[in-house]
Every structure is written in structure tokens, then in C-alpha cells.
Amino acid sequence: MTQDLQRRLERLWGLERRHLKPDLAGTRSLMEGLGHPETRFDSVHVAGTNGKGSVCALVERVLRAAGRRTGLYTSPHLVEFRERIRVDGRWAEEADLEAGLDAIAALPHAAERTFFEVATALAFAHFARERVEWAVVEVGLGGRLDCTNVLVPAVCAITNVGLDHTELLGATHEAIAAEKAGILKPGVPAVSGVEHDGAAAVVARRAAEVGAPLAAARDVAHVEVAQQGEWGTRLAVECAPWGSFQLQLGLRGAHQRENARTALAVLARLAERGLSLPLDSLREGFARARWPGRLEPCPGEPRLWWDGAHNLEGVRRLCQAWTDDLGLEPPAAIVFAAGRDKDAAGMLARLRALAPEAELYATGMTGARSFAPEELVALAGEAGIAASPEASVERAVRRSLERPARGRVLLCGSLFAVGEAMAAFGGAPGEVV
């Protein structure tokens, strides 16, 4: 990435949480100034606490396999900003992003806009210029007030709801579900993968209020895990209009059943609209879908596994997948980092149950609002875990790999930490996914 583009993005990154407003006026003003690029492609809009990225990756890859020109907008990135904005799986060229930022900077009041407002405008304008047919768009935070909510999509989806970002979204499943259900729109078909009863009721009530035809994913697609291991997951599926069939995923863990079910329900809704989605495109898309940084080994250091689980529910799913689904021995060492807005103590307690004998290395992250290593050591001590502080993710990982005892090393607690490890050890998503 050129130094000029990097500097411009770093300046924007400093505005990440500036001007949190009770409306979408800033994003809408950018869309208007750019000629409403968000209206020049069809879209699928996905919110949720856990699993929304996997659902986006699956849906986009199937649409691509079906011959559609696709856009994919996700956050955060792991190593490089361009990972967030992809057309047919390929990230945006630097020159295109530079031109896009120039166009945005020329708009009235552009200097007042936040990082996410500019990033979203940059993505939608890029999709419009590239003549994307279908964009799959992941909500960044919440839903109701998220910058992406300027879309009027073909289908909305809400994955499972958990307790995360509670300082912004509310302290209960129901409150968080209400924020995520804010993406539902009149007449737009919607899919709910929400498992929590109270949260599911909130989503259903909101759908009825706005007139959004809602289907529970479990009622649309029946999905069972047929086989799984370190290689991925095989699913047995029954879903109209395709009937009974099997799907192979490279994504690991039984929790991918829920994500696959939601993705299939979204695709079924699109098929109902008349979009041609042959069964072969489902098979190819699911088999080739990637969602880097989630429960996978480092390509250059196979003893190192990482997972971007960054809340208590995510860590619970990680631990269950590690032992029950993949059948792995408990990790010999754990490297842990966490944002200051996360339940670090709860995550550490769950990791201790996974691997009570593991050596724990607590670390911070560069440029992130993270717990200091010493703070995590103290929290680990309260959970009965002896931990060693390390100033950087890279140093913590290297130290864990240098231990005399063999065995796997697990890095988790933050996607930003996974990104730092990828930059140091390889495995970044790269130009094409």
C-alpha cells in the first residue's frame, strides 16, 4: 500500500468512534453527494453478533459461483484495509481507493465524517463503478444506526445474537436484538438465525411492525453435520428449492451448521425472487468459501492455530469446536489479547476450562483499545490462571512456540491480534479470496 494512501486511512482510522450520532444523516449526505451508489446494485444485508461474517462469505461465494458479479463489504480487516472491499473476491486497487477518497474529500462537510461513514461510502461507490450486480454487506456495529443501513436490500438476515458491545447496544439479548432488527425494512424479505428466545421474539415483533416478511432459518433449511474434522465440515441439507443434498465446507466447527443454515435460507429467498442458483453453484460456493482468521492453522507454522473469537459466546463456540468437533488435544499454550470493551475475565475462565494445564501469555495490541498485558495477567490470576505478560502479539507467539514442550498454540481474544500474527507469521487473506 502506498504511503499516501496509508496516511489517509490512518487519519480516518483516528475518527473511528468520533461523532456517534442518533441518525444516519452523515452517511446519507455522502451517498447523495456521490450520486447514490447504494441504489446501483442489488444487495444482501447481514447483521448479528457471531457468524455474520461467515454467512456473508458463504452467500457471496455462491452468488459468484452462479455467475454473478459480486461485491463483498466486511469489517474489520485483519492486515490491510483493502480486505474490506472486494469485487469478485479481489480487493480494490490502490488507485481506485485513492480516487474514491478524492471524490469523497471534495464533498461538502466531508471533513466531519467518521471512518465508518467514509469507508462505507468508499465501498458502495467502488461497487457502483465496478458494475457489481450483487453486493453482500456485513453490518459493522449493531444495525439500526450502522452506516450500512442506508441500503434497501433484496434480503436482510440476522445471525445469532449475543452480549457484545453492550456499552453501545444494550445490556440484554433483547436490547441488542432490537438494534440489529433495525435493518429490517418494509416489504424486504428477512431471515432470522437468532436462537435466543427473547431476542428472536424481538426480531419477529419488529418484522411485523415494519411489514418485513420474516422466516426463521431453521424453518427454511434443515441442516445436520454429517462429518467434520481439521479438514472442514460436511453437511447434510434439506432445503427447497434444491431438495436433499450434501455440502462440503472448508470452514471448521459444528457452529458452522447455524451459519450455513442462515446462508441457505438467504439463498432460498433469492431463488424465490427468480435468481438462478443451481445446486452446483451452492456446492462450489460452499466448498470454496473462505473466512480467514477463524479457527484455522497458520500456513507457515502449523502448530499455531488462531481464532478471532472476541466475546464470551465466540470463545464458548471455539472451545466446543476445539475438543468436540475437531477432536484436538487441549492447546499447550494460549496467547490471549482482548479489547477493553470485552468480557476478558469471562473469556479467560472459559479458556481455562478448555486447557487447565496450558501456559497463558497475555499481550496487548498495536493501536487498539486493548487491555494492557499486566491487566490481563491480573484478570487471569482472579480466574486461577498463572499468566506471563508480553508486550506484543508477535513476541508472545514466538515465546509460546519456543517452549520445550510440543503441542499446539492457540491465539484468540481479538481479530486485531490475529491480524498482527498474520502479519508476522503469514496467512493473511491477501488480494484474492
Same domain, 213 and 96: yes
Looking only at the bridges linking them, the beta strands covering 301-306 and 214-216 are unpaired
Q: Taking residues 247-261, report their average pLDDT.
A: 95
Res. 14: pLDDT tops 80: no
Regarding whether 186 and 117 lie in a shared domain, the answer is yes
* 80 and 157 both lie in a single domain: yes
Residue 402 burial by CB count (10 A; 0-12/13-18/19+): exposed, middle or buried? exposed
**pLDDT of 404 strictly over 80:** no
Question: What cell numbers appear for 346 in the block?
Answer: 469471562
pLDDT of residue 16: 58
pLDDT of residue 52: 94
Final residue of a structural domain among 263, 288, 313: 288
Q: What percent of the chain has pLDDT over 70?
A: 95
- Same domain as 356, residue 284: no
Instruction: Answer yes or no: are the C-beta atoms of 377 and 386 closer than 8 Å.
Output: no
Same domain for 63 and 146? yes
Kindly state whether residue 221 falls inside one of the protein's structural domains: yes
Q: Specify the CATH number for the domain of residue 109.
A: 3.40.1190.10
pLDDT at 2 over 80: no
For residue 363, the domain's CATH number is 3.90.190.20
pLDDT in tens, 279-336: 999 999 999 999 999 999 999 999 999 999 999 999 999 999 999 999 999 999 999 9
Same domain, 268 and 170: yes
Per the model's pLDDT, the better-predicted residue between 363 and 110 turns out to be: 363
- Return mean pLDDT, the chain: 93
Picking from 270, 288, 306, the residue at the C-terminal end of a domain is: 288
> Looking at the structure, do residues 346 and 271 belong to the same domain, yes or no?
no
In the prediction, which pLDDT does 77 show? 93
Closest CA to 285 of 42, 48, 54: 54
Q: Could you give the strand order of the β-sheet that contains 243-249, starting from the edge strand earlier in sequence?
A: 221-229, 232-239, 243-249
What's the pLDDT score for residue 166? 53
Looking at 227-305, list the stretches that DSSP marks H as alpha helix, in order from N- to C-terminal side: 256-272, 279-288
Q: Please tell me whether residues 91 and 239 are part of one structural domain.
A: yes
Greater confidence (170 vs 427) lies with: 427
Tell whether 430 is covered by a domain: no
Mean pLDDT of 355-382: 92
Do 89 and 47 lie in one domain? The reply is: yes
pLDDT tens digits for 149-165? 999 999 999 998 876 56
18: pLDDT strictly greater than 60: no
For residues 418 and 270, membership in a common domain is answered with no
433 located within any domain? no
pLDDT on residue 224: 97
Q: Find the domain containing 406 and state its range.
A: 296-425
pLDDT at position 101 over 60: yes
Question: Counting every residue, how long is the chain?
Answer: 433
Question: Final residue of a domain: which of 261, 288, 315?
Answer: 288
In a domain, 236, yes or no: yes
pLDDT tens digits for 386-395? 999 999 999 9
Same domain for 233 and 331, yes or no, is no
**What domain count does the chain have?**
2
For the segment 396-419, the average pLDDT, to the nearest whole number, is 93
Instruction: Work out the average pLDDT over 33-50.
Output: 96
User: Is pLDDT above 90 for 234?
Assistant: yes
Mark whether 381 and 313 lie in a shared domain.
Answer: yes
Core vs surface per residue 314-339: b (16+ CB within 10 A) or e: bbbbbbbbbeebbebebbbbbbbbbb
Per-residue pLDDT at 165 = 62
